[in-house]
């Protein structure tokens, strides 16, 4: 299946308990315990602003939204609250599951060479460029936010154009490889200006725009990297790599991806009927569920030492030379929903 692709993945969270645990044990921490420090999320979206949420994401606000409560007043936010749905599996067993989506986790990650240049090459400009590209992609995705409208027994969709989002940036995989990525947590609430109330978020249009959002992220990130002096090699699959980062190096720092590839292949061999499904979704589900335990004594200095130990002297020199091309003013139009 190859090395890690840059991508946008999405997973819905149905369980309130799991949502709060995911926030406290993953989003706020990342994929290793950074010597007691927390990853500070950032509120994003017009919906968040209308709720008075700006700046750093605090636990009480996040948990209130998980519980479908207004973060300031504590009142119920959307009409629909926790419900149950009943499913029957292939063995005839009945399962009762949570029916309300708590939030959607859209995760954006750059090509592996970008993570290598940013984190092993220690170019913090790239981290900032990633953050800005995520913001731009989020703003475009927000245009596709919608809610359901039920009238006279019929269901339709109304575009709302606002999201309640919180973005958390992480920098490693569970295999402790450099892996720059951001979790965009989109709560299941959007303000319907026509009905003047908060309603459940309908993600259908956003899912249809997933590839477009992904391309916005790539486009903005590549524009900025070229401005920094990095060379870009475009790939047939639609993303790119930084020129000068060898395929061997990319493979070496893609251990977590290979692990997920192996588990995906094992699953498809055991259950060949799943081969017709979206393999990226299967991979994302495996990545979410099968996580190695976090290391509790790792800090960024130890991580950089681990990464440097895996480099030869020529490779270290090569990384130091990256981004030393002529700085250019980013050109070309920005991608927007209007021009899609």
Instruction: Give the predicted TM-score (pTM) of the model.
Output: 0.80
Give dist(CA 251, CA 232) in Å, integer. Answer: 18
Give dist(CA 166, CA 41) in Å, integer. Answer: 6
| CB-CB neighbours of 309 under 10 Å | 7
| CB-CB neighbours of 259 under 10 Å | 17
Express each pLDDT in 38-51 by its tens digit.
678 999 999 999 99
**Is the Cβ–Cβ distance between 326 and 229 less than 8 Å?**
yes
| CB-CB neighbours of 51 under 10 Å | 22
Express each pLDDT in 232-269 by its tens digit.
999 887 789 999 999 999 999 988 666 655 555 565 56
**Is the Cβ–Cβ distance between 99 and 200 less than 8 Å?**
no
Region of residue 74 (left: phi > 0; alpha: psi -120 to 50; beta: else): left
In this predicted model, which residue has the larger pLDDT, 44 or 322?
44
Express each pLDDT in 46-84 by its tens digit.
999 999 999 999 999 999 999 999 999 999 999 865 444
């Amino acid at each position: 299946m190859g090395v890690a692709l840059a991508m946008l993945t999405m997973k819905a969270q149905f369980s309130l308990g799991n949502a709060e645990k995911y926030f406290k044990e993953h989003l706020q921490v990342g994929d290793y315990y950074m010597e007691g420090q927390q990853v500070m999320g950032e509120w994003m979206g017009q919906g968040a602003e209308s709720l008075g949420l700006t700046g750093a994401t605090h636990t009480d606000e996040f948990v209130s939204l998980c519980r479908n409560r207004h973060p300031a007043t504590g009142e119920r936010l959307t009409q629909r609250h926790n419900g149950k749905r009943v499913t029957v599996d292939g063995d005839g067993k009945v399962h009762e599951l949570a029916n309300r989506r708590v939030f959607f986790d859209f995760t954006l990650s750059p090509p592996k060479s970008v993570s290598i240049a940013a984190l092993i090459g220690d170019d913090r400009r790239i981290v900032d460029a990633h953050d800005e590209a995520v913001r731009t992609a989020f703003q475009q995705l927000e245009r596709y936010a919608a809610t359901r409208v039920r009238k006279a027994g019929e269901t339709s969709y109304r575009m709302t154009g606002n999201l309640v989002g919180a973005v958390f940036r992480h920098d490693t995989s569970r295999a402790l490889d450099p892996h720059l990525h951001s979790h965009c947590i989109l709560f299941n609430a959007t303000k319907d200006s026509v009905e003047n109330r908060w309603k459940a978020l309908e993600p259908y249009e956003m899912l249809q725009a997933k590839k477009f959002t992904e391309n916005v992220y790539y486009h903005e990130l590549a524009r900025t990297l070229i401005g920094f002096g990095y060379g870009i090699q475009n790939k047939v699959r639609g993303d790119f790599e930084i020129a000068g980062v060898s395929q061997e190096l990319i493979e070496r720092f893609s251990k977590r991806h290979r692990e997920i590839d192996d588990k995906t292949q094992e699953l498809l061999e055991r259950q060949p009927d799943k081969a017709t499904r979206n393999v990226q979704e299967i991979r994302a589900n495996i990545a979410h569920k099968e996580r190695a335990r976090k290391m509790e004594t790792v800090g960024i200095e130890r991580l950089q030492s681990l990464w440097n130990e895996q480099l030869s002297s020529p490779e270290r020199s090569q990384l130091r030379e990256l981004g030393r091309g002529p700085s250019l003013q980013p050109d070309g139009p920005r991608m927007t929903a209007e021009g899609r």
